[in-house]
Chain A
Amino acid sequence: MERFEPTIVAFVCNWCTYTAADLAGTARMIQSPNVRLVRMMCTGMVDPKYVLKALLGGADAVLISGCHPGDCHYINGNYKARRRVKLLKEILTGFGVDERRVKLTWVGASEGNEFAETVNELVEDIRELGPGETSRMMVI
């Protein structure tokens, strides 16, 4: 049987993780093309509705990744993201969505391999979990 290739929507911040993702891409560190990068200016602007939209639209997982704590170009955007994602995960769990489908990480600009690792780990986790049910479970 063909291996399940999960689709991941990644909201990455313009300053750190997008740079890392670019580095990972040009250095060919990511082999699996499962991840769709959506560049945001800051993780602090990732509205939970974007995450829901991605899950409802058929994404098997959502990755949010930005600068390390204390390193945000906009001073504290990543802290806002951290609070928001924690809350969102609780709500999602209430609706029966596995919280592992939403992941928040910090990847600095020079950490291309860490971005690749994060993506590959997430892909492995989601393979274990199986395809996302959200888009089928919930009808808008």
Chain B
Amino acid sequence: MNKSYDALVVGAGIGGIRAALDLAETGRKVVLTDTRPHIGGLLAQLDYQFPNDHCGMCKMLPLTERDSSSQFCMRKGLFHKNIDILLHTDLLELSGEPGTFKAVLSRQSSFVDPEKCIGCGLCAEACPVSVPHEFNAGLTQRTAVHLPVPHAIPNHYVVDLDSCERCWQCHDACPTRAIDFRFSERKDFRILVASPRPDAAERLAGWFKHQNFPFLHAKTGQEALDTLAKDETIRLLVIDVRIDDPDAERLLERAQEIRPTLPVVASCPPEREHEARALVDLGARDYVVGPLNPATLVPWLDKLYMRLVSEERIEVDVAAVVLAAGFDCYDPGDPLHGAGQTLGYGRLPGVVTSLEFERMCSSTGPSGGRLARHDGQELKRIAWLQCVGSRDLQKKADYCSSVCCMISLKEANLARKRTFGRKGGPAECTVFYMDMRVFGKEYQSYRDTAESNGVRFVPARLHTVLPDPDDPAALRVQYVDDAGRITTETFDMLVLAVGARPPKAMQRLARAAGIETNEWGFCATDYFEPARTSRVGVFAGGAFGQPRDIAESVIQSGAAACNASRLVNLFAPIKDRGPEPEPRYRDVSREQPRILAALCSSCPTLDRALDVDDLARRLEGVESVVRVMRVDNACTGEGWKAVAEAAAELEPNRILIGACMPYAYVPRLRELGAAIGLNPALMDVVDVHSLVMGAMSTKHPTDAAVRERAEEDVFTRVHMSLMRLMGADPSPLPEPQEVTRAALVVGGGLAGMTAAMAIADHGYPVTLVEEAEHLGGTAMKLRRTLSGQDPVRFMEDLVGQVTRHPNITVHTDARVALSMGRAGRFFSVVSLDEGSAPVEHGVTVLATGGHESRIYDYGFRVHKSVLTQLELEQRLASGEIDASALSGVAMMQCWRSRDEHRNYCSRVCCAGMLKNLLLLKERAPDLPVYVFYRDIMSYGFSEQYYTKAREAGAIFVRYSPENRPQVEFEDGRPVITAYDPVLAAPIRVHADLLALSTGIEPNENWELAEIFGVHLDANGFFQEADYKWRPVDFLKQGVFVCGLARAPGSMGETVASAKAAAQRAVRVLSEKRLVCGSVVAEVRDSLCSRCGRCIDVCPYGARSLDLDRDRIVVDELLCQGCGSCAAACPNGASVLRGFTDVQVMSVIDAALGNLPTPRTAPAPAAATPESDPEPATAAPDAADTGPTEDPA
């Protein structure tokens, strides 16, 4: 297989999916790979996400041109027309130059033919193996042939070769012969054994023959080479290390020259194992240690054979690569990770990891979501211990994993919810922490809510965990509390908040992709461009470069996608690409419905459970059905060809396919539609198998009553789908809307300029509007970064690039005065000094930035000795402050933030404080520096600077918001009085300077919010559509947000968000016309009374009253098809395509068996509702007036 794609995305977790979708939506062809056998990455195991305790993955699906991808829960699967997903696939090699990379992928086989597997589970019932199930973090057992996740679609069983015992029982149990151990091909698998020992060779020959493998023998190295040169059919070379002439090493080298792809394995006696290992280092695949015996050798050879014959080597040409392999969780039981068993983990069953706890809370988990102690008792007291495997020098992890604090808060919330309402009250939750790092937007209030709900926070490290002598299933933990007392408490469960580690195969992946890793094994990235790796053309998405939560992974992936897209653009500019051939669909709006129904009969399920012929006969009796055909393989191309042929003959205008797993057929329907010229919206797939799947496991499903019942169920389900399809509106969709392919960026700071550059580099004109006299914004005021880069130069470069860019028009001293229109077509007016300028644009990016907040307190602006951290930074840079002349510096964190004034963490202040502190300490190592803090938010790799600051001798004093330090002034010098929890005593600090961490406030945004019809959050930042899943979008499409206007962040984070926003904007601009989805709301004007209820009820603001035409209009791009308007409309004037009243009513009738269905010949429909495209008001009226006419 050799294919060409625009981009390769490695890792199909959230990061990878976001990057792939971002690229695919702009028309790029993407290949998305993952080593796991399922998509979703770590998130497949996490059912709940902070800060709302739910899932929302589906919100990542495309909003414009919705039909290009699947429209259902993303945990089940993702089908996008521009994305090919390869699971079980590793990147082996990446060669070539950016733009013309050649990637070699290797796909492992699952040994279960996905086209034959029907997911009945009989194989797993037969399998005798029992090993821990990875999906449930080892809390449950699985068989060797198993379902990797319970919910994926298509969900096929896979054989885990490592644990498989090769008993063939699953093979025999499979009703569709889907399991293939490739036995018949063994006769072609010629094995050449190069061994100087004739006796050994003879023994091997006997065993191999018994196993059906052709065997060849070479006594010397030369003989082996001659055979190899002559015989091209040899598939495996076994080298005995004792071979001579030439020796084993030379033989391996020469063999690799003759046949570069030939797999080689070594065999050796026990005392010469090191030689065999050396061969493996030289490129041999594996080695086996003698004395050889058939009991171990045969299964080993068998598995080797299976791997070799089933691995598929795939070469793809790609222009750019995005790596998003995410992170693994630290395993406290793994000695490789450092300390071995941590705090009784693995020994005491009450000690679990946060991932295990998450599985316990899950409905698909080991206990179905019921929380209990391992002895079955109620969970009364649960404790979380933070920073297990992170912020730990001993475990080689001097970094913060950034997500664990929030995960523990979420789990505490979940634990309370799960145990709420029981007799003893909800579980008591305690979190033992070092710093609660709640630095994301809304995270602080999430913590506050947890605290007010009774979650207890204890700043302490546990040092001992033992079984409780009185109750051995409980845990007795000891810690030193704030006052220095050793405290003992008893808990039922201790959850270790495990940190992030680079993915297990990171070293291999880094080698294959040719990228560098940092000292902790994560991908090394650029500070200002966190999506950039050490190799040009290879970008880091998601949490690949640093542990990140979902929102930031999504942003990071957007940035990586933007960089990749820019590169692809150089090689295949989107603008120059011809539009893809648009499928032409027949206009069937004037035809009576004619339905072709096809039932898949490739699996024996249906036949076993019921009389399919009788079912088909009954279905043919349903109104509008022209034929019910049986297809042999609906899951393969052949089956679809049969349907296409029948469609060509009968010319139906609706097609229904009864098969298994309807989700998987989304792309097929699209293809079929294009082939026969029928709109896929008029086709449907209905699941007929899962209803009768139970019949597969019972041995004798012949009971007549059971069969009748099964037939009735299947008939009803198909009938319901037929009814929905019959009522489907065949009229063409609203005309696609023309796009003005230009952008308006508001704000000329770091975010605005980066976004403008990214869009302009794609070849679209950009108008950049800046309120101030010069470009630059807040980032221009910075003098250095925490890791020592020069932001001034970076910013000056950027300003230069922006002003010189031919596609960017810069307006300084300018403001947007008004804007109207919708995604793809905006019209705005920019007011300038010299008047006003009209701008037509398709998208808007709001990057209005923020500023250092100023609250006049603690002597700020009264005493010269009080200044902000930013002022300190500037004065240190300019030399205005001489560190060596100071006698003491005090720093105050979280000044008027994370409290009632501004209830959020500004993220950058702790880094800013560390930056200044380290510079002071560098210049004057003996200068006393006191930092008064609540929690140090040095998340990610900035943790190392916190460590350095403590090493440098800075004194950190924790304070609580109830007990803030007091500041007085003596001769203008600050004197700070505070309580030190470590000394357990009040302290007084005299300093020359008091530096305040003032935090970030957004600029005044309300006016812009009004102009563009978007919202602000409680703190004045722009309110994104969804914090986690759509962090740079607004609910209003076509308007995007980035930088400090969205949320506080460092320069790197600001750049990432700007690029992510730019990529979303390019998505809209990349097409000349924007197509809406097929499930979209419409208005029947003749029935509409203009009451306006639908306008209020629409969550997307897609509806408005057009005063000129006196009608309600729907913006079909904004409309996402939720149907709220249809339910709210009192007249039935508002309808949702695909879910009209006629359709739903007849589906209900079919569900209840209230439609006449002659069992034999089709009869003219009499009593069933007419399939009228106009709304039938009869049905709703009847329902509405029914109760009032109650004669009783």
Contact = CB atoms under 8 A, between A and B. Distances in A.
Contacts of B1180: 47, 49
B1124 A74 contact: yes
A70 B53 CA distance: 9
Contacts of B155: 26
B1079 interface: yes
Interface string B125-158: 0000000000000000000000000110001000
A134 to B, nearest CB: 9
Given A71-B56, A108-B47, A137-B1192, A45 B363 contact: no
A140 B1190 CA distance: 8
A14 interface: yes
B1184 A42 contact: no
Nearest to B1128: A80
Interface string B1181-1192: 011111101111
A18 B663 CA distance: 12
Contact of B150 (A27, A59, A80): A27
A36 interface: yes
Interface in B1138-1192: 1139, 1141, 1144-1145, 1147-1149, 1151-1152, 1154, 1179-1180, 1182-1187, 1189-1192
Interface stretch (B690-698, B765-773, B919-927): B690-698
A123 interface: no
B588 interface: no
B1123 interface: yes
Contacts of B368: 113
A15 B720 CA distance: 19
Interface string A107-140: 0111111100000000000000000000001111
B983 to A, nearest CB: 44
Contacts of B1035: 75
Given A108-B55, A110-B55, A53 B713 contact: no
Given A41-B1136, A139-B1190, A23 B1120 contact: no
Contact of B1126 (A45, A54, A56, A139): A45
B1121 interface: yes
A139 B1189 contact: yes
Interface string B690-724: 11011000000000000001000100110010000
Contacts of B151: 19, 23, 109-110, 112
A38 interface: yes
A140 B1185 contact: yes
B59 interface: yes
Given A25-B687, A33-B709, A77 B1124 contact: yes
Interface string A50-92: 1011101111000000011011011111001000100000010
A38 B1124 contact: no
Interface stretch (B70-78, B186-194, B321-329): B70-78
Contacts of B1185: 140
Interface string A23-39: 10111100101001010
Contacts of A59: 1151-1152
B1121 A44 contact: no
B691 A74 contact: no
Q: DSSP majority for the A interface?
A: loop
A19 B75 contact: yes
A68 B1035 CA distance: 20
B364 interface: yes
Given A44-B1124, A138-B1190, A75 B1099 contact: yes
B58 interface: yes
Interface residues of A, number: 57
Given A41-B1123, A74-B1122, A28 B1148 contact: no
Given A57-B1154, A113-B363, A15 B1127 contact: no
Contact of B369 (A31, A41, A113, A138): A113
A95 B53 CA distance: 39
Contacts of A15: 58, 72-73
Contacts of B1183: 49-50, 52-53, 56, 140
B362 interface: yes
Given A33-B713, A75-B1035, A140-B1182, A18 B72 contact: yes
Given A9-B1151, A57-B1152, A45 B59 contact: no
Interface string B1124-1137: 10111000000010
B1009 to A, nearest CB: 18
B499 interface: no
Given A56-B1183, A59-B1152, A137-B1192, A45 B1123 contact: yes
Contacts of B1124: 42, 44-45, 74, 77, 80
B53 to A, nearest CB: 8
A18 to B, nearest CB: 7
Interface string B260-280: 000000000000000000000
B1145 A71 contact: no
A26 to B, nearest CB: 5
Contacts of A40: 1123, 1139, 1144
A80 B1192 CA distance: 32
A42 to B, nearest CB: 4
A95 B691 contact: no
B615 interface: no
Nearest to A36: B1151
Contacts of B691: 25, 33
A119 B1182 CA distance: 29
A53 B1179 CA distance: 9
A28 B124 CA distance: 14
Contact of A38 (B690, B713, B1151): B1151
A16 interface: yes
A98 to B, nearest CB: 15
A38 B1127 contact: no
A105 interface: no
Contacts of B716: 36
20 contacts: A15-B72, A26-B155, A28-B693, A38-B1144, A38-B1151, A41-B1079, A44-B1122, A44-B1123, A45-B1124, A45-B1127, A54-B1151, A56-B1183, A70-B53, A77-B1122, A108-B55, A110-B55, A110-B151, A111-B363, A113-B364, A138-B1192
Given A70-B53, A110-B363, 18 more contacts: A19-B75, A25-B687, A25-B693, A31-B694, A36-B720, A38-B1148, A41-B1121, A47-B1141, A49-B1184, A52-B1186, A58-B1152, A59-B1152, A71-B55, A77-B1122, A95-B1187, A95-B1190, A108-B47, A138-B1192
Closest 7 CB pairs of A and B: A45-B1123, A74-B1122, A71-B54, A36-B1151, A19-B73, A111-B363, A25-B690
Interface of A: 7, 9, 14-16, 18-19, 22-23, 25-28, 31, 33, 36, 38, 40-42, 44-47, 49-50, 52-54, 56-59, 67-68, 70-71, 73-77, 80, 84, 91, 95, 108-114, 137-140
